[in-house]
Structure 1
């Protein structure tokens, strides 16, 4: 494969959390082999920079009916997998905050540790992971400086990295998460995890 296998994830999506957890339980080496790319709804500033680069954000809002179905289906999946989950009650999460903090952690070699701490806070404890105090706790658990994690969302260098991540999603035709890419093979959704793993095995990436 010319490009390494990629996984587009979002801290906002419970199905992304489930897919990554299933992936790493079945293939523990995944975080060291796959390129993880964060994906979230960009703010107006990031959208403007994307437009200047002839790029855009492909995700579109879903209907209420689909949203309610996905909530119920997520509950079924969590029960089937035997996981613990707490639905967050907050409605005012600034998704740029944890995703740019993840980009900072990744640059520090602590991306996977930050990811694990963030999804635990979000999906096992129901916390607002853009809250400064919660984010500081995640950063501390991941082994990075809490102040730097809190400042990541406004750091010019990290916002440039955010644009590159979002532009990469546009180039890869990513319209929702979780989204897996193995060579020319593309897989959307938790239900396509087997296909992704099969493609990696065929390509010799996974034994």
Structure 2
């Protein structure tokens, strides 16, 4: 079986939100699956010694225009800068890995819904209470959100995901790995697509 495309993302990343809408189509073209690996970008930066103290205002102004343009060109709803940006990803990450342990498909659906809530609707995602609507839509007992938040195995899975991203050489999101190659940025999915096509 062909190796899956590893998709490293962060819920506060608008470009990861965009990539989440694109990666399945590329994977299916080449008979690949997608392995979702959401992380805390702040923890990855700390692990690799990156100074993440602020972004130059001029760069941020441009970036907000750019990610909004990219989303709208794809027909995606987007809030340029949600009120709670950047979100603390601790709780949604723990819920994701709690779900992934038994139902990877539901974990992926959860991740997509978190992206949509934050970037598509501009609503908060950092607390368990923020995620209750998503839970109900996916048939998850909202009480399980608190269970997931305190799940030691899920906490470890989050830390392991960051460690895996560091080990592979990732430094930002979205990042994709497949067949030993790394691609950083949603706009590099085209290069990934072409590389996989060249192998077939």
TM range (shorter): 0.7 to 0.9
Q: 1:56 aligns with which of 29, 47, 67?
A: 47
Q: 1:151 aligns with which of 142, 147, 157?
A: 147
Q: Partner of 2:13 in structure 1?
A: 13
Shifted more, 155-164 versus 169-178: the winner is 155-164
Q: Partner of 1:79 in structure 2?
A: 72
Q: Is the 8 A contact 2:7 2:175 kept in 1?
A: yes
In 1, the alpha carbon distance for the partners of 2:149 and 2:90 equals 6
Q: Secondary structure at the match of 1:130?
A: coil
Q: Is the 8 A contact 1:9 1:38 kept in 2?
A: yes
Residue by residue, what CA displacement relative to the aligned partner does 1:32-52 show, whole Å, maximum 9, x if unpaired? 712110111467xxx9xxxxx
Q: Is the 8 A contact 1:41 1:57 kept in 2?
A: no
In 2, the alpha carbon distance for the partners of 1:59 and 1:37 equals 20
C-alpha distance 119-91 of structure 1, shift in aligned 2 (>3 A) = closer
Q: 2:113 aligns with which of 111, 117, 122?
A: 117
In 1, the alpha carbon distance for the partners of 2:115 and 2:157 equals 21
Structure-1-length-normalised TM-score:
0.80
In structure 1, stretches of 5+ residues that fail to align are 48-54
Q: Is the 8 A contact 2:6 2:37 kept in 1?
A: yes
Q: 1:190 aligns with which of 186, 189, 192?
A: 186
In 2, the alpha carbon distance for the partners of 1:35 and 1:140 equals 24
Residue by residue, what CA displacement relative to the aligned partner does 1:73-113 show, whole Å, maximum 9, x if unpaired? 01111221222112411257321111111111212311121
Q: Partner of 2:164 in structure 1?
A: 168
Q: Is the 8 A contact 1:59 1:176 kept in 2?
A: no
Aligned length: 193
In structure 2, stretches of 5+ residues that fail to align are none
C-alpha distance 6-158 of structure 1, shift in aligned 2 (>3 A) = same
Structure-2-length-normalised TM-score:
0.83
Q: Please state how far the C-alpha of 1:173 moved relative to its aligned partner.
A: 0.9
C-alpha distance 88-163 of structure 1, shift in aligned 2 (>3 A) = same
Does structure 1 residue 67 correspond to structure 2 residue 63?
A: no
Q: Please state how far the C-alpha of 1:155 moved relative to its aligned partner.
A: 1.9
Alignment RMSD: 2.7
In 1, the alpha carbon distance for the partners of 2:11 and 2:89 equals 8
Q: Is the 8 A contact 1:15 1:190 kept in 2?
A: yes
Give the 5 Å matches for 1:27-46: 27=27, 33-41=33-41
Q: 2:132 aligns with which of 108, 133, 136?
A: 136
Q: Is the 8 A contact 1:117 1:142 kept in 2?
A: no
Runs of 4+ in 1 over 4 A off after TM superposition: 25-30, 57-60
